[in-house]
């Protein structure tokens, strides 16, 4: 038995058990497929919004710390490169 027969059998059992017309079943099925995702969407409420804001703020702080660290490392490397460059220039002059 393929999946189509299983679904048809299930539909038939539901229609028979609840005494509804097959047309009604298909209308409900169509509505579920078209708009069913709304049921699973997270509704914003004050708690969710605060939590999401907190997560965003923490992420921003984390990224700002990474940028500061990167800038510190770049400054240190640039300083070392400049001091090496000045040593090379002095060595050439001597």
Q: pLDDT-derived band of residue 6, with 50, 70 and 90 as boundaries?
A: low
User: Comparing 4-13, 41-50, 70-79, which segment has the lowest mean pLDDT?
Assistant: 4-13
CA-based nearest residue to 21, from 31, 30, 11: 11
Confidence of residue 8 (pLDDT cuts 50, 70, 90): low
pTM beyond cutoff 0.85: no
**Residue, of 57 and 37, whose pLDDT is higher:** 57
Rounded CA separation 29/15 (Å)? 12
Read off the pLDDT of each residue in 34-38 and give the average, rounded to a whole number. 88
CA 42 to centroid of chain Cα atoms: 13
Q: Report how far residue 76's alpha carbon sits from residue 87's, in angstroms, rounded to the nearest whole number.
A: 17
CA dist., res. 26 & res. 35, Å (int): 14
Q: Residue range 28-50: average pLDDT?
A: 84
pLDDT tens-place string over residues 66-82: 999 999 999 999 888 88
Dist. CA 85–CA 82, nearest whole Å: 5
**What whole-number distance in Å separates Cα of residue 6 and Cα of residue 12?**
10
Looking at residue 1, its pLDDT comes to: 47
């Amino acid at each position: 038995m393929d999946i189509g027969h299983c679904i048809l059998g299930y539909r038939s059992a539901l229609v028979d058990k609840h005494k509804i017309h097959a047309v009604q079943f298909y209308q409900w099925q169509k509505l579920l497929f078209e708009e069913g995702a709304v049921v699973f969407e997270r509704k914003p409420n004050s708690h969710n919004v605060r939590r999401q804001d907190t997560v965003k703020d923490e992420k921003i702080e984390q990224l700002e710390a990474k940028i500061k660290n990167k800038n510190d490392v770049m400054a240190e490397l640039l300083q070392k490169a400049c001091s090496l460059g000045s040593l090379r220039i002095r060595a050439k002059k001597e």
